[in-house]
Amino acid sequence: MHNYKGFLVRQHERSEIDFVVFVARAKDVVQWAQADDIRLDRGNVQRALIESRWKQVGKFFRASDRNVIPTSVTIAFDEGLQRCSSKEELSDVASSYFMGEGVDGVVELVFSNAVQPFSFIIDGQHRLKGMAEADQDIWVPVCLFPSLSQFERAFQFITINNKSHKVPTDNLKALITNFADVEEGLRIRLTQASITAPKFATLVDVMNEDPESPFYKVVDWVNNRHVDKKTIIAPSAIENGLKAIKNGFLEAKSDDANAIMVMTSIWREIFSYYGVSYTNIENFGNLTKKPVMQRITEMVVEFLVKEFDPAFSDGNIMARDAQEAGVAARKLIDSIPVEFWQEEWVMKSLDTSAGRDIISRGIRELKRQAIKNRGIDFDWRKGNPLYLSADD
């Protein structure tokens, strides 16, 4: 049985709707509120829970002991949930709740997990899920409507989301100007939590600073200030790859964290396949060239866009933490010998549209030859456009 003390709020004297504000343990809240895969046909208006999004919350808390989320989650009991007049009427199996009379604006709420079929998360389901899955107890502010109709729940959802705005870029610029001395510390804190903000923490920052990123400490740019840094990956290789991902998938276009996850899935799989790591990445000069990374990412995205064409599929690139991006990348590089990425190519100046097309043709030609000669030792360099000189 859950017992909470909270403030009963009536925002103006003519209001017909009250709500209670209190603090609860996230692990408990997910037991009495519907937080997983909530859809419109279940009487709510939330989108289905996306695993990659709630996992980002856990990562946020792991990034620093100073990281907190003070924002409340909004939950509503359906108007059909029975309100008992005394706590003695409650049971662990009955869907009902008790709310006492207010004393100095404070009320007591008591109920069991049996209220869950009548308890709907209006806002904050990803935050709540991520907090509940953390490896420690996380306490979350809760705004609970004790009785709300389906119509009112939909209204509250739309109101909350339409009133939510990102911090204007100009405000962030002003913040940097006024607090220049904290810029570097803030950049590090944000990137470790995989949070982007213009001028503070870019997508490239996140991919260079995140220990789970395949590009950890190896990006060739000014913000890579690690003592043991390596300057291998061009920032534009990451930026252009992420651009292709955002252009290909609406889920990534609307959420930087999703774009990063797709990019990470692609390149983690490629690096794993060839055994590329921080210690030996400089041995893969062709694979880590800016036009090569850009074109490989584009090829994977082009393939997946067709795979997830809504005319033929109800799939989502973010399903299973964007693992399909890694699967597609594996299909692309399968059977390509590691030497292809290590031995210097004859063709140079590939960082043009025509050059990237040559890279595509070189990969496709090698794949054709590998399939044709599977199990046979053959000269895979012969006839490959990347090994032809300008005079050939």
Task: Say whether both 101 and 207 belong to one domain.
Answer: no
Task: Say whether both 335 and 234 belong to one domain.
Answer: yes
Task: Kindly report the pTM of this predicted structure.
Answer: 0.66
| Whole-number percent of the chain with pLDDT over 90 | 58
Q: Examine the pLDDT at 182 and tell me if it is beyond 70.
A: no
Q: Which helix (H) or strand (E) holds 342?
A: helix 339-342
Q: Which residue, among 200, 187, 295, 192, has the nearest Cα to 243 in the 3D structure?
A: 295
The model's pLDDT over 200-247, given as tens digits with 9 standing for 90+, comes to: 568 888 899 888 899 999 999 888 889 999 999 999 999 999 999 999
The Cα–Cα gap between 392 and 390 comes to 6
Task: Say whether both 247 and 121 belong to one domain.
Answer: no
Q: Is residue 190 domain-resident?
A: no
The Cα–Cα gap between 76 and 74 comes to 7
- Lookup: tokens for 138: 């996380």
Q: Examine the pLDDT at 133 and tell me if it is beyond 50.
A: yes
For residue 284, what are the contacts with CB-CB under 8 A and spacing of at least 6? 274, 276, 341, 342
Task: Say whether both 148 and 212 belong to one domain.
Answer: no
| Whole-number percent of the chain with pLDDT over 70 | 85
The Cα–Cα gap between 95 and 370 comes to 63
Q: Is residue 12 domain-resident?
A: yes
Task: Say whether both 25 and 90 belong to one domain.
Answer: yes
User: Which among 162, 188, 215 is the end of a domain?
Assistant: 162
The residue with tokens 């962030």 is: 172
Q: Is residue 345 domain-resident?
A: yes
Q: Is residue 177 domain-resident?
A: no
Host domain of residue 359 = 202-387
Number of domains composing the chain: 2
Of the given ranges (106-110, 160-164, 269-273, 284-288), which has the lowest mean pLDDT?
160-164
Q: Which residue, among 222, 190, 236, 183, has the nearest Cα to 209 in the 3D structure?
A: 190
Per DSSP bridges, beta strands 139-148 and 82-84 are unpaired
Q: Which helix (H) or strand (E) holds 123?
A: strand 119-123
Q: Is residue 71 domain-resident?
A: yes
Q: Is residue 171 domain-resident?
A: no
